[in-house]
Amino acid sequence: MAELFLKNISLSYPVYGSGAGRSLVTAAKSISTGGVIRRTGHRHVEVDALADVHLTARDGDRIGILGHNGAGKTTLLKVAAGILKPDKGRIRRVGRTVAVINPAVGLSPNLTGYENIEQIALLYGMSRGEIAELRPDVQDFSELGEFLDLPVSTYSPGMKTRLAFGVATAFQPDILVADENIGTGDATFVKKARDRMRVMMDRASILLLATHSVKTIETLCSRAILMEHGRVIADGDVTDIVSRNGPPRDRQTIVALNRSLAGPDAAVP
């Protein structure tokens, strides 16, 4: 049985050499997007990308994440998948977790396409036999042919995306963490990539999907959360959350809404 629990998750990014100090923090009060910017010392600034986030997901949950640009959607995905480590909070995952966010980041440029397939598969705990079965699938999907024998450093950006996307979507996850806005190369490849993603989403026990598309969430998800300025301010029925998705609110209101979500279900077993 797949499960995902996040409790009191917070993550901040230091901003070095901003030269802004107090002026940047003052200006940030009028900004309607992004995390909370604060001054931590003389000319030192931090951005709170996530603040006190709670999330509980179990078998069958299909959760869509809505929010403005900079609301923290992708950061939340990366923390949920284990790509980023939060500054504080607790996380518990049960089941194989696969992230399809920016898969090209995980490619090693000095390795060949086939060697990258093997390396990524080993990181997911696959056996040599399973990797041998995986290779033809990625080869057919990526349509890279003999380029798979060449170092990835010789690939164009579109070729890297094809390989990375093909590998990332070749695994059968229990928990799928995905960003629908991921680039998928040239136009002829887009439909093929989306069809493959939809199959993967259908098979996953838990889906956590970030997107700006209300239609996608209404079609694929049974539950939704709304994020603003690094905080989850609403979690529930898709229709209800979609109706709340509007211009960002002031930060004091957001903090109050965020805290109201921290109940018994937020506890990590």
- Secondary structure (DSSP) of 158-218: HHHHHHHHHHHTSS--SEEEEETT---SSHHHHHHHHHHHHHHHHH-SEEEEE-S-HHHHH
Residue-range definition of the domain harbouring residue 108: 103-204
Q: Which of 180, 204, 228 is the last residue of a domain?
A: 204
How many angstroms separate the most distant Cα atoms in the chain? 58
Question: For 192-241, what is each residue's pLDDT tens digit?
Answer: 888 888 889 999 999 999 988 898 899 999 999 999 989 999 999 999 99
> Rounded distance, CA 27 to CA 46, Å?
14
Residues 194 and 225 in one domain: no
CATH number at residue 186: 3.40.50.300
Q: Which of 189, 204, 219 is the last residue of a domain?
A: 204
Question: For 106-125, what is each residue's pLDDT tens digit?
Answer: 789 999 999 999 998 888 88
Residues 65 and 137 in one domain: no
pLDDT at position 31 over 70: no
Residues 54 and 89 in one domain: yes
Question: For 79-114, what is each residue's pLDDT tens digit?
Answer: 999 999 999 999 999 999 988 887 667 789 999 999
Higher pLDDT, residue 248 or 68: 68
Residues 43 and 76 in one domain: yes
Nearest alpha-carbon partner for 211 in 59, 51, 76: 76
> Rounded distance, CA 99 to CA 64, Å?
15
Structural domains of the chain, count: 2
> Rounded distance, CA 53 to CA 45, Å?
21
